[in-house]
Amino acid sequence: MAPINISNVAGFAVQLIALIAVLLTPRVSISQLVRTAAVSLPESRILAPARPFPLPAAKYVFSVRWQMFNAGATSVSMQPSGSTLHVIATADSAGFPDKVFHVHDLFNAEVDPRSFCTLHVSKHNDEGPHRRDFNIALDYAQAKSRVDAIDFKTSETKHTEFAIPPCVTDVVSGFFYVAPLPLAPGFSQVFPVNDNGKTIDARIEVESRETIKGPSGEFQTLRVRAEPISGPMKGKAVLWVWFTDDDRRIPVQMKSKLGFATLLFQLQKAESPQHD
């Protein structure tokens, strides 16, 4: 594995929120978590909500720290949008890492509330010298994802297609998918996660109940471990998420580890989202 430098870590920090597992990497995008086979393992599946999906009541804003450095901030929210759910996330570098490697990322996804399958994703990545847009349409009828990308630096456009399973979540909506599951110590599930059209399998496991303190207060939480179980990052990346141990299931803290890099995400505030 190549040595991890500060610019790599800055990119890693802001990419992570765009992930559930994710299975993020310092300047290794989630798309590199593609598995060797396009079809998910048989036990990997998205569980449809047993009742109408409970919308979170807030937009969550997190700080990102790497060792003693303030690495940036990220936010994530979900809103109703017609017959779908609209997931929105942002990531911005700050402090010393921003001077080395500036990041401003935007993420939007449309999710079917009946099945929790992701239907469409659009992303704008402004990272260091790179500026790219991605539009990903998930066509379950044809079992394909269709990806259109543009590189603003080179003006290059690219269209690719990949096989997908009958239902997938994405690297941001996955947080909202996990929260209402019957989480309790010992619970685990494997499910498919798609990024840039490619699909890997992620496994979550509820490790324990834990009391944590952070900028937004003290919470009784459930610590959930998430990691890729297919693709080149299998066994190399881990993400922990602390959800409040109540009906709200607020993600109040996250910690990611890849090699020697450990990043800490802490909830700073919860704002009322603006609905479409």
Domain membership of residue 273 (yes or no) is: no
Residues of the chain with pLDDT > 90, as a percent, come to 66
Domain count, the chain: 1
Domain membership of residue 220 (yes or no) is: yes
Domain membership of residue 275 (yes or no) is: no
HEC sequence for the chain: CCCCCHHHHHHHHHHHCCCCCCCCECCECHHHHCCCCCCCCCCCCCCCCCCCCCCCCCEEEEEEEECCEEEEEEEEEEEEECCEEEEEEEEEECHHHHHHCCEEEEEEEEECCCCCCEEEEEEEEEECCEEEEEEEEEECCCCEEEEEEEECCCCEEEEEEEECCCCCEECCHHHHHHCCCCCCCCCEEEEEEEECCEEEEEEEEEEEEEEEEECCEEEEEEEEEEEECCCCCCCCEEEEEEEECCCCCCEEEEEEEECCEEEEEEEEEEECCCCC
pLDDT digits (tens, 9 = 90+) for 55-104: 887 899 999 998 888 999 999 999 999 999 999 999 999 988 888 889 99
Domain membership of residue 1 (yes or no) is: no
Domain membership of residue 205 (yes or no) is: yes
Domain membership of residue 188 (yes or no) is: yes
pLDDT at 100 (0 to 100): 86
pLDDT at 273 (0 to 100): 61
- Min mean pLDDT across 19-23, 61-65, 131-135, 209-213 is at 19-23
pLDDT at 257 (0 to 100): 87
- Which of the two residues, 172 and 42, has the higher pLDDT score? 172
Domain membership of residue 276 (yes or no) is: no
Q: Domain span at residue 230?
A: 6-268
- Min mean pLDDT across 6-15, 46-55, 74-83 is at 6-15
pLDDT digits (tens, 9 = 90+) for 224-271: 999 999 877 788 889 999 999 999 999 999 999 877 778 899 999 988
Average pLDDT, the chain: 83
Domain membership of residue 23 (yes or no) is: yes
